[in-house]
Amino acid sequence: MLAILIPWRAGKEFRRLKAEKKWLVALVIVFTAGLLTLVGNNLIQKKTQVLANQYIDEMGVLTEQQRDAVEDFQSIAVMVGVVIGIGLIPFFWVAKSAVFHVLARILKGEETDLSSAMHVIGYTYLPLIFQGLIDLYKGLTYKIPSYEEYVREIETSDALLNFVREHNIFFIWSLILMVIAVRELYSMSNKKAALVVVLPYVVAWLLLFAFQSVSRQLIGGM
């Protein structure tokens, strides 16, 4: 299975998985990667919650009663956030596989079912386990910044820099494996497989940049 991590050997492994499904392994890989990152991010969020509350107070967007209500709800909100985060792990897995499946069929790829796409795409999450371990380590060792540093980081946040941080070598590694998986599952050329995988990400990234740009303008106008 670990041979999948080596791009020039991954094709053979995906062809084997195309014929021999191992769902339990795929599930473990996807949820391990997702949960590690979720826990790491949640640790950082909990450590900076006081700073976030202070920042909201200084913005003056909440009345005193609203602020008290928000503080009372925060403990519940953390749990709700964790539950939603766990739910998003399989959601994005299924959604990603479905988009790839539809695009591959449009490009005349070999006929197969969505479950097969989900199965092989699950194995492309292997590099993201390494990213998850890094995220967990960051969460455990995160040092709370001063309030001034926290505000500066929020107000001078660079969308491009954040994009590069989030889409690092582990993401690129996983993306390459997705292209190989799609190529083998649908018997497509490298170019078509790359189009199937990269196009949805490009659209998602453009929407994300647009959302972040609007959000910064709204925050700046308050």
Mean pLDDT calculated for residue range 68-72: 64
Binned at pLDDT 50, 70 and 90, residue 147 comes out as confident
Tokens describing residue 164: 């590069």
Q: By three-state DSSP, how is residue 53 classified?
A: helix
pLDDT at 71: 64
Q: What is the DSSP string of 4-21?
A: GGSHHHHHHHHHHHHHS-
pLDDT at 190: 96
Contact 55, 146 (CB under 8 A): no
Mean pLDDT calculated for residue range 132-153: 89
pLDDT at 78: 76
Q: Which range, of 32-46, 122-136, 204-218, averages the lowest pLDDT?
A: 204-218
Tokens describing residue 49: 């919650």
pLDDT at 210: 82
- Enter the pTM of the model: 0.86
Mean pLDDT calculated for residue range 103-107: 96
Q: Mind listing the pLDDT tens digit for each residue in 182-200? A: 999 999 999 999 999 999 9
pLDDT greater at residue 78 or residue 61: 78
Q: Mind listing the pLDDT tens digit for each residue in 44-58? A: 988 888 887 777 777
pLDDT at 208: 80
Q: Which one, of 25, 111, 89, lies nearest residue 13 by Cα? A: 25
Binned at pLDDT 50, 70 and 90, residue 132 comes out as very high
